């Protein structure tokens, strides 16, 4: 009979760990949390020091009964949930739900950063008590999220539609996306030109192409065609001479191993994985896969981490592998020292392979296609992080033409270093230009031709999942474990939509964001939310009492909710009656909200179930056919403006058209923030409405 009971979170780990520990250990799974705040109420006693009220999660009764039975038979009980705040809290809840004595020497907490035989066995040697500071940090986060969700969501139901939700991190992320959309919509492209000169070099067959860099030693931009023509006129007849040839070396550092955030970003960029998919597959690789000749084993370390530290054993194993496979030259000159910690539960490392010798090529028959792709990415990134820098030879040439200056530069990869294993699109491509190496200040140059190109400045790009995760991390909003569920919630609620990797806010998302900004400005304030994360970290470190955070947060939110309720109490949400007649029963159809925004429905439901798309007219005529312009939606919910006669008429605009006509060409004008712009790209006339308003006010005065 087993003398020891080990309780893990996931059933997928049970078989793997059981194999490592042998017959004296019974391994069982809690299937995640066993207790939580009740769904039917706030679950926080606001009258008595904000104490949380926990109940057993529905459906967990039988599981807890079997765990209690096993616990009574065991001499020692090891709580082996995940090595983070969430895992610490699950262990504490298990302690309470199983009626275990937390002071007993026979009940201990163990953690391991990787599910390998050595790591699991080593963790037993360093069994400890539950870290109540980490538990408090998780509890505080859970209570804050519950307060925000349960107090604000009903207001959204009343104002917009049922089924919506607000969230502490989710609402800030939505605001970031909405602010970016507003920035893009208001962006006015600015014209600029580049000028390249083709020069014949004495004794060389190929011409030298150099770019205009400025005048009188200062950088100068070319803002219009008129400026370009003046510049070309000034350059006529000028003599081109090489004034400076600078040769040097540039080094590119090896990348750091993956954290949760950087793994999500890179998997999104290179594999087109959503953050949710990345975390799901990484979880499988961590919990264990059946490897040929090895059995079930975890092949990557724990996936929720913001550390780039690597264990000493892994450093040594990587150094040995790199030296053997690539030679001494490829070994990192100064690898970051590993933090030596005797307590394995402190070993929160970067995400890496548990064994660098377990090559991706060896696992082709053991992993699914997506598992192999993600493992390969992790293996290459970790291996590269322990390798030497890449080296480039560089050359920069400056050329003068009277008062004006041109320049040309290139680089040549002379030692690939870590790039032998891992490269990204961001790594500079080889720009070898042998001609530059031959140039000196004595080289003779003669003018060949100009090549001028017109460009326009571009707005900030739409967020992708990768760039949104990077922004949340940079701003200190949320933590590694929250990025994927935050984005998933926004997509599920249809506040945002994805098209070709880009994220767009939907009409529903705009409505929710507008309410959050007007009534709950602190909740969607990125600085406030980032500061809250710091306070939660302080709770986890034992330097701040969790009651202080909740006691400071709840009254202000409660007051804001009451104020919003007063403002909204006279707002009666009714279905707006349209002038569209239901062809099935003759009633006037009403406007309703659905997952993709507004639609028309018959008010005779359920007797009449007729529905049709709602085409919101904007009071502007189509410039192509004279029909009414209406608001339309893409399949993913992104709004645009099209003709009511579509698809026969193919007019469309992402910006809202106006009744105002272009004073220059008579074309349609569209809104760009506070400005209007002609939709005709060849015209491009811009009117600043703020300037017009100010002049009107001055005239009135």
CA distance between the termini of the chain: 95
Residue 254 CA to residue 189 CA, distance in Å, equals 37
Strands (E), 110-207: 191-201
Which two tokens mark 271?
């594999």
Inter-residue contact 448 to 199 (CB < 8 Å) = yes
Which distant-in-sequence residues (6+ apart) come within 8 Å of 498 by Cβ? 465, 491, 504, 636
Which distant-in-sequence residues (6+ apart) come within 8 Å of 558 by Cβ? 46, 151
Please count the residues of the chain.
Answer: 701
Strands (E), 429-490: 445-456
Nearest Cα neighbor of 231 from 446, 455, 402, 447 is 402
The residue behind tokens 């239901």 is: 582
Residue 549 CA to residue 570 CA, distance in Å, equals 34
Identify how many contiguous H helices and E strands the chain contains and give both numbers. Answer: 18, 30
Residue 300 CA to residue 378 CA, distance in Å, equals 8
Instruction: Establish whether 150 is a catalytic residue.
Output: no
**The pairing of beta strand 76-79 with beta strand 4-8:** parallel
Strands (E), 1-63: 4-8, 25-29, 35-36, 44-45, 51-52, 55-56
Which distant-in-sequence residues (6+ apart) come within 8 Å of 424 by Cβ? 255, 266, 269, 270
Nearest Cα neighbor of 251 from 476, 417, 494 is 417
Which of 302, 326, 375, 641 is labelled catalytic?
A: 302
Nearest Cα neighbor of 461 from 251, 181, 243 is 181
- Catalytically active residues, by annotation: 302
């Amino acid at each position: 009979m087993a003398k020891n009971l080990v309780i893990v979170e996931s059933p997928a780990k049970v078989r793997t760990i059981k194999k490592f520990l042998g017959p004296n250990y019974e391994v069982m799974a809690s299937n995640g949390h066993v207790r939580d705040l009740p769904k039917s109420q706030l679950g926080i006693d606001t009258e008595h020091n904000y104490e949380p009220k926990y109940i057993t999660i529905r459906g967990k009764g039988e599981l807890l009964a079997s765990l209690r039975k096993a616990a009574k038979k065991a001499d020692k009980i090891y709580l082996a949930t995940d090595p983070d705040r969430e895992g610490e809290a699950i262990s504490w809840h298990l302690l309470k739900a199983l009626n275990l004595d937390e002071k007993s020497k026979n009940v201990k907490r163990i953690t391991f950063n990787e599910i390998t035989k050595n790591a699991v066995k080593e963790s037993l040697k360093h069994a400890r008590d539950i870290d109540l500071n980490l538990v408090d940090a998780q509890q505080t986060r859970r209570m804050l999220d519950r307060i925000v969700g349960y107090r604000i969501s009903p207001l959204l139901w009343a104002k917009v539609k049922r089924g919506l939700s607000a969230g502490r991190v989710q609402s800030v992320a939505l605001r970031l996306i909405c602010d970016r959309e507003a920035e893009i919509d208001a962006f006015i492209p600015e014209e600029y030109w580049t000028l390249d000169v083709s020069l014949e070099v004495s004794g060389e067959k190929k011409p030298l192409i150099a770019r205009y860099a400025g005048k009188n030693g200062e950088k100068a931009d070319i803002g219009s065609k008129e400026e370009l023509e003046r510049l070309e006129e000034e350059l006529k007849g000028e003599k081109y001479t090489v004034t400076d040839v600078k040769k040097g070396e540039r080094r590119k550092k090896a990348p750091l191993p993956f954290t949760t955030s950087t793994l999500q970003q890179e998997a999104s960029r290179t594999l087109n994985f959503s953050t949710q998919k990345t975390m799901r597959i990484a979880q499988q690789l961590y919990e264990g896969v059946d490897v040929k000749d090895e059995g079930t084993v975890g092949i990557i370390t724990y996936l929720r981490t913001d550390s780039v530290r690597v264990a000493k054993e892994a450093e040594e194993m990587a150094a040995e592998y790199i030296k053997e496979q690539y030679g001494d030259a490829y070994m990192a000159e100064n690898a970051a020292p590993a933090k030596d910690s005797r307590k394995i539960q402190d070993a929160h490392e970067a995400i890496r392979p548990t064994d660098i010798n377990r090559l991706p090529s060896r696992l082709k028959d053991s992993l699914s296609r997506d598992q192999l792709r993600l493992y390969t990415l992790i293996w290459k990134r970790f291996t590269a992080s322990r390798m030497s820098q890449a080296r480039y030879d560089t050359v920069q040439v400056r050329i003068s033409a009277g008062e004006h200056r041109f320049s040309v530069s290139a680089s040549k990869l002379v030692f690939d270093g870590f790039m032998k294993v891992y490269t990204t699109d961001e790594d500079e491509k080889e720009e070898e230009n042998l001609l530059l190496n031959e140039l000196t200040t004595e080289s003779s140059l003669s003018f060949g031709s100009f090549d001028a190109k017109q460009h326009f400045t571009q707005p900030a790009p739409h967020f992708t999942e990768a760039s949104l995760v990077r922004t949340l991390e940079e701003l200190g909003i949320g933590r590694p474990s929250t990025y994927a569920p935050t984005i998933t919630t926004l997509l599920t609620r249809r506040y945002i939509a994805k098209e070709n990797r880009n994220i767009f806010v939907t009409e529903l998302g705009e409505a929710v964001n507008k309410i959050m900004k007007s009534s709950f400005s602190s909740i969607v304030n990125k600085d406030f939310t980032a500061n809250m994360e710091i306070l939660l970290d302080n709770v986890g470190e034992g330097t701040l009492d969790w009651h202080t955070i909740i006691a400071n947060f709840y009254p202000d939110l409660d007051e804001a909710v009451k104020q919003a309720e007063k403002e909204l109490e006279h707002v009666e949400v009714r279905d707006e009656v349209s002038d569209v007649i239901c062809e099935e029963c003759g009633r006037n159809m009403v406007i309703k909200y659905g997952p993709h925004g507004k639609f028309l429905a018959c008010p005779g439901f359920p007797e009449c179930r007729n529905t049709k798309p709602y085409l919101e007219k904007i009071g502007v005529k189509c410039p192509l056919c004279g029909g009414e312009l209406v608001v339309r939606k893409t399949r993913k919910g992104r709004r645009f403006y099209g003709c009511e006669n579509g698809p026969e008429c193919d007019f469309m605009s992402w910006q809202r058209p106006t009744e105002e006509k272009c004073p220059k060409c008579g074309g349609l004008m569209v809104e760009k923030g506070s400005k209007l712009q002609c939709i005709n790209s060849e015209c491009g006339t811009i009117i600043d409405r703020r300037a017009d308003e100010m002049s009107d006010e001055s005239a009135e005065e």
